[in-house]
Amino acid sequence: MGSSDTFKSLCLEYGFALILRIWLYNSEFKATVSGRVEVSTPINSWKKVTEGVALYKDGINPYSGDMFHESPVGLVIYSQLIDQATPYLSAIFIIFDLLTGHLLYLTAVEYMKHLMRRQNEDKDEYSEEVKELLLTDKDVKRQPLYVVAAYLFNPYILFNTVAQTTTVFSNFCLAASFFCMVKGNRPVVCLFLSLATLQSLYPIVLIVPAAICIGYHTLPPVNKSKSVTSKLPKIYQKILPRALQSTNSDHWVRSMAATIGLFAAMTSSLLVLSCYISGGWEFVHSVYGFMLLVPDLRPNIGLFWYFFTEMFEHFRLLYLWAFQMNALVLYLLPLSLRTRRDPVLLAATLTGITAMFKSYPSLGDVGFYLALLPMWAHIFPYLQQGFIVLAAFIITSVLGPTVWHLWIYARSANANFYFGVGLAFAIAQIFLITDILLSYTKREFILRQVSGSVFNGKHRKLVLA
Instruction: Assign 361 to helix, strand or coil.
Output: coil
User: How many residues interact with another protein (rule CB under 8 A)?
Assistant: 74
Residue 299 makes contact with another protein by CB under 8 A: yes
The pair phi, psi for residue 85, each rounded to 5°, is -130, 35
Residue nearer to another protein on the CB measure, 67 or 95: 67
Span from 48-56, 169-177, 200-208, 249-257 in contact with another protein (CB under 8 A): 48-56
Q: Interhelix angle for 386-404 vs 415-449, to 10°?
A: 160
Is 416 one of the binding residues for another protein (CB under 8 A)?
A: yes
Residue 441 touching another protein (CB under 8 A): yes
The residue among 208 and 433 lying less far from another protein, judged by its C-beta, is 433
d(CA 157, CA 161): 6
Q: Is position 281 an interface residue for another protein (rule: CB under 8 A)?
A: no
Residue in 24, 26, 75, 83 with CA at minimum distance from that of residue 52: 75
> 2, 125, 131, 463: which one contacts another protein (CB under 8 A)?
463
Residue 159 is a binding residue for another protein (CB under 8 A): no
Which amino acid belongs to residue 171?
N
Is-contact 107 175, C-beta < 8 A?
Answer: yes
- How far apart are alpha carbons 48 and 68 in whole angstroms? 6
Residue 111 interacts with another protein (CB under 8 A)?
no
What is the CA angle 49-50-52, rounded to 5?
A: 65
- Looking at the Cβ atoms of 145 and 403, the one nearer to another protein is 403
Contact letters for another protein, residues 369-408 (x by CB under 8 A): ---------------xx---------------------xx
Q: Of these, 60, 264, 390, 398, which contacts another protein (CB under 8 A)?
A: 60
428 belongs to the binding site for another protein (CB under 8 A): no
CA quadruple 239, 244, 246, 250: dihedral, nearest 10? -130
By CB under 8 A, name the one of 225, 334, 387, 457 that touches another protein: 334
Interaction between residue 409 and another protein (CB under 8 A)? yes
Contact flag: residue 312 with another protein (CB under 8 A): yes
If the CB atoms of residues 224 and 459 are measured against another protein, the closer one turns out to be 459
Toward another protein, which CB reaches closer, 23 or 315? 315
Beta-carbon-side half-sphere exposure of residue 157 (alpha carbons within 13 Å): 30
What's the sign of the alpha-carbon dihedral 415, 418, 421, 425?
A: negative
